[in-house]
Amino acid sequence: MFDLFGTASRGGSVKNLNPRQEKFVLEYMLDGNGTQAAIRAGYSKRSAEVQAFDLLRNPKIADKIRARREQFMARREISVERVLAELVDIAFTDLSEAFDDEGRLLPIKEMPARVRRAISGIDVEELYEYQRGEKKSIGLLKKIRMNSKIAALDLLAKRLGNHRRWWSQGQHFSRCADTD
């Protein structure tokens, strides 16, 4: 049997880790919260924060967490390049590409993939009017929620190593995005 991360959950015990440490590794992989992982792994609530700190500094546990994370990322085809590409799509998407020449929202499948990836949600509400006591549909109101461009730009700057330099020099991200 395999767990969420594709590793054997029975019989495939981690060398030199006790059962609670193994459980901590699995729990930590779920949400990245060391204190909560320690509690779920059976450590005392009173000492969970200290236990989590100690467990995460244990080289064997850190290696196991790192290995499981790498396995998970490889199976899901997650890479630094792919994450950065997604951030670029969010940061530099032109929302006008989501509309046709008459200003109507394109069906989601007709939007360019980079635009779809920048959208965090679409709300559709049917609009009505009442004529002679009867409810009549008059159209749809569509609201697009985009992922935050500012957050994406900030993350990109941090990952590309220019965050402090750009902000300390008072430069604006718009200079980086100029393509005209």
Cα atoms found within 13 Å of the Cα of residue 96, Cβ hemisphere only:
2
Q: Quote the radius of gyration of the chain (alpha carbons, Å).
A: 24
The domain ranges of the chain are: 19-75, 83-170
- Mean pLDDT over 69-77 rounds to 90
pLDDT digits (tens, 9 = 90+) for 88-98: 999 999 999 99
- Can you give the pLDDT at residue 175? 45
Work out the average pLDDT over 79-86: 89
pLDDT of residue 14: 45
Measured CA to CA, the distance from residue 60 to residue 63 in angstroms comes to 5
> What pLDDT was estimated at residue 91?
93
Q: Is it true that domain 19-75 has CATH number 1.10.10.1400?
A: yes
